[in-house]
Structure formats: structure tokens, C-alpha cells
Structure 1
């Protein structure tokens, strides 16, 4: 069992040092008399003499002690302020880091950390702990899905070319371009890319009836429109350009949704509606193969506007044996086919542009209707294109008539 170390009081040490300083006995004698080691006595003397000045001038020692204490307190206050500042900054950075995704935080890790201080650096493991990421995932390099990236790139190209397409039409475009992909996948990729169809919606009214003009009943209610040139319909809409409003008239085939003719004018009169009617008849009037020609369309639908109830317009239709149909008063849905076309044209093109002149509008509408007829997928046509459906139906009807 080890011997406990003897502890000596300050008074005892001072007494022995004073006895030693009297220089009357040898250090060994004094040590032996008090049962201590000579080395201890020698060390006590050294300490006593080193602090003798304090005994002579205690006020000076106290002052120096106070000065050191004040300096220490000031250093402590500066360190406390610094620690507080660093703590606030750390908490702020921690909150910001939490808002970053895991992949972004992983990118902040320095795999070859340098010294932040002469004797301190942040190890990779410590960095991961501070950033709240798993160290095992730092060195993982995800495999690039080339097929996915290719599809995403093509979706972006379709959006840049046709920004009005929603996910269903984009999906149909990808299928046509040779990509094997589901609708849900296209929808998810578009969401990841942040792509949405660019559309706008406005409405105006162009129907101005005249009481004196004869009105015709609506012939399309419950009608099974089974082929192209069965029913055509027409309408006029406003388009805003720099300096005012202009008017656009169009004729559409109900079965195929193909736009057969369109015109733009600065006046809404009979010249506009007759021009678009004659243009459609010249382009799309197909005679019956039998000796007695049968004019097309069979039915022509309009609203009750004065341009359509005018004698010149109704006479042109009746001379060709075309049945005249007119919407009920205030019933825009009776002419829903052309109304939907107007919505598409305005949301997908017109409202997205500012036209400086009529010629600018004419050029852009020619381009849009070419796209609408020959490139744009139509949901009600099972994602076929209007003019393809129109031509297929005409060809099929002609073959049926030849057989009969």
C-alpha cells in the first residue's frame, strides 16, 4: 500500500526557511531535525525569496493582480462576443442548409480539406456531420439515364416549338417522333422540367342581328355528323392590333375540325363573310360523281348576325342547295365547333403576340392555321390532325359513291 504524501502548511514552510536563513545550522541538520528532505527545504527557500518583494510591497502585487484580472476579463468578454456571433451565424447557416436538397449539400463537401488554422482542419467526416449528409453517399456517382435525358430533351424541344401543347399532345408528339413512353412519364418529366402549356383566355361578342332579316332554325341539334362536308359553320371574331380592332372570319368543317378558309378585314361587313364563303366553296366544293352534282356542304351553320342573315349571303347558299342553319338567340354553344377553334387560336397564338399591323396578323394566322390543320393533334379526333381526317373522309365517301 502506497504511503500518503505529507502536506505541509505555509506557516511550517516559512518557519523552516527562516531557520535556514539564520545560517546557524546546515541544511541537512535542519532537514533531519524536522524529518523532511533537504531538497524540499531548498525548494521552499527558493520560492520564499522569489516572492519576498510581495511581502515588502503587497499593494503593488495586488495592483498587478488586479490588472491581470481586468485584462483576463476583457479577453473573456471579447471571446464571449465572438462565440455568440459564431453561434448565431452557425444557426443561420444550419437553417439555410436544411432548405437545400441532399444532393446540393453533398456538393459542399471538400474531399481534400485544407488547414483552417495552423493546427486544425475539417475532416470529411466532420464536414458531413455539419452538413447533415451521409458520408457513404459522398463518393457515390449516380448513373446517368440516357434514355430519360433524351426524352426530356425532346419534350423541351416540343415545348419550344409548340408551347401551347399540354401533356397529352406532347405525349402524342413523342409517339409520332418514335419515342416509346407513357403519358404518365411525359407528365412527370414535364413537371420536373417546370413546363406548362402557355395559354390565355378572352371573349368578345360579334353577333349584331337585324330584326328585318329572316332567321333560320337550328338544324344541328341531335344530328349525327358522320363525314366531312356534312356540316360547315362560320363565325367572326375581334382581334386587337396596334391602333385598334380588326375582324377575322373563318369556316370550319364540323366532322374533321379542319379550317377550310379564313379572312381578316378592318371592317365587319358582307364583303368579309362572302369572301371567306366563296373561298371555301372554290377550294372544297366536291361534285357528286353522278350526272347531277350535289353541292357541299349539306348544311351551313351561322349565328344570327346581320352579315349572315343578309340576302346576298343566304341567296348564295340557297342557290347551291345548301341547308341554312342558325344558332338560337344568345346560344353561342350552338356553334361550338367554331367557338372552340377561336379559343384555340387566341389562347395558343393571338393572345401571346402583339401585332403592329394587319399584314403581321395575316402572316401569323396563315402560319397558325397551317399548323392547326396539318400538325396539331386534336383530342376529339383521337389525336389525329384535322386536315388528315378531312381528306380521309372525302376519299372514303367518294369510294362509297363509286361503288353505289
Structure 2
């Protein structure tokens, strides 16, 4: 049997004072403070009944809550309201799954309801376990991914028509949801593509007309979808623009910014920061965690124009090569199998696979030949 939670007198007074204001209903206050509405009624009544003692016997009885205490409590409540408003705005920039993972069920002071309120998520979402996509939807996602590599200009309508012509009974609503889940956007110019998250800053494209003639002058990054037998994962890679070498990569089961920043940290730690980093305008690359890491390292931030996949063409070609030479040849069961296969292929790509743009040499060899700063075995670690 669980022990009944004890509330401090200061907490009860604060809740009762808020109830006295009459600005929120008992249900709203109960949700806000994580207590039962009955308690709010009891504490409010106790405050009203106890307040009469302030005026008994000419005020000779020492009040339990005097005017200065009330003013101080109101000031603290105002400060808390401002702090909570600031915190909510910052937290909303994070994905729901990230905020959900921040909840501590065994927190000594905050209940799950209070933590959900502070993190701006519904309490029911904390207990909800996603069912995942059906086998039919996973098959459709695999077909969409394969076709998108061939025709990256296919939007929702064209992709729906294509799948219908192949005998799949689908509608545009379903294909739109699956393409969004996969992070796919057609390449034609149109408004509101590759939108960053609300409140995130975007940056101009810095590579137009720029001659890229040395390693670590420009890096680029992107995310792609990896189909599996019973689900899907996402892969992010950091590539050296000049030599096409993949500097770092990470796999994740959600489209948050964390795994992108991990790959970026690894690349900077091993090779030092580049002069320019180019990405699309996706929410992972406009997030504070990503852009702040680049700014602290003195890196100029460049972002593709809306709907312009050619602005980051080299890493788009990497995805095409990876999927036809590795991903589509397997049906991985687990994330560990996927990581092992991707690691093996990335090693092959960097050190053995001849690259047509490099005169038939592998990217890693060209990187070290043209890099005047770092050489194998003599890497200079530059810490931001």
C-alpha cells in the first residue's frame, strides 16, 4: 500500500491563495499543482477560517499568515509564473519524445502530473505505448523509399498515383502521413518545405558560387530513412564536401536532434571543426543544440534553399549508393544488426570503394592526401 503524500504548509498556503484569486477552476488548479480538487477546497477553507484570527482581540494574536507574508507569497507566485512561461516556451522547441523521456517517475518532490504540466505534455501520453506501424504500412514505406530515390520530385499526389498503378489501394492522406514520418519532401520549389520547428532560426545558403578546393572547408549533413523487417530507423551522416568522406554517422529510432549532435561532436573531435557546415532546414538542424555547437566551434552555418535538394547533392548521392548497395539487400531484425551492417558498409565506402569523382580513389585516401593539417597517426585534436 502506497504511503500518502505529505504536503508542506508553504505549498498548501500557495495553493489556497491561488484558489482565493478565483482565476482558475479547482480542476485547473488540481492539474497545475498535481493535487486532488478536494484538497484545494479544504486548504482554501482552512485559510479563510484561520484568517479571522488576525482580527481577534484587537489583533493581539500573532497571525499565522500576515500581510507581508501574503505579499511575499504573491511575489513568489508571480516569479514562478514567469519562470514557468519561459520554461514552457523553451521546452516546446524540443520534440515530444525528448520531453517524455525527461520525466522521472520516482522524483521525490514532483509528481508525474506536475512534471507533465511543466514539460507541456499530456499526462496520458506518458503512459501511452505506441503500437507501431502495421506490416502493410511498413511495406508501403519501403516502396515509397525505393521510388523516391528514382523520382525525388514525386509529391504526395504523384506518389499516391504511382502506388495505385502498382495495385495498392491507398489515398493521399495515408501517403502524406507516411512520407512525413519518413522525413521525405519532394524537391520542386514550393513554399513551406523543409520547415524548421516553430521559433527556430534559419540561415542563408553560403555555397553558391563558392569554390570548394580543400578538406574541412565545407561539411554537409543529412538524415535518411532505413527500412527494416518490422520497423524503421533514421540515419544521419556528416560528410566532407571536397573528398566525399563520411566523417561520422549515427542511427536513431526517433527524429530528434540528439543523435545528430552526437555525430557532429564525434566529427569535430576527430577532425577539428570545418569552416562551413551545410544542411537542409529540417528541425534537427535548426535546433538550438545543433546550431549552438557549431557557433561555439566558430563554424559558419549554411542551409539549403526551400525544396532545393541540389544544394546538398553529394550527400543525397551517398544515400542512393548506400541503399542500393546495402540497405535494400537486407531485411534487418534489430538495431544492432542495422548498425553493424551500416558500419561495415561505411568502412568499405571510405577506404575501399572507388569514387568516380575522385579518379577511382576511395574518399579516405584522398582526404588524407589533400589534408595539409592532419595526417594519419598525427591527428591534431582541436577542441571547441
TM-score, normalised relative to structure 1: 0.45
TM-score, normalised relative to structure 2: 0.47
- Larger Cα Rg: Structure 1 or Structure 2? 1
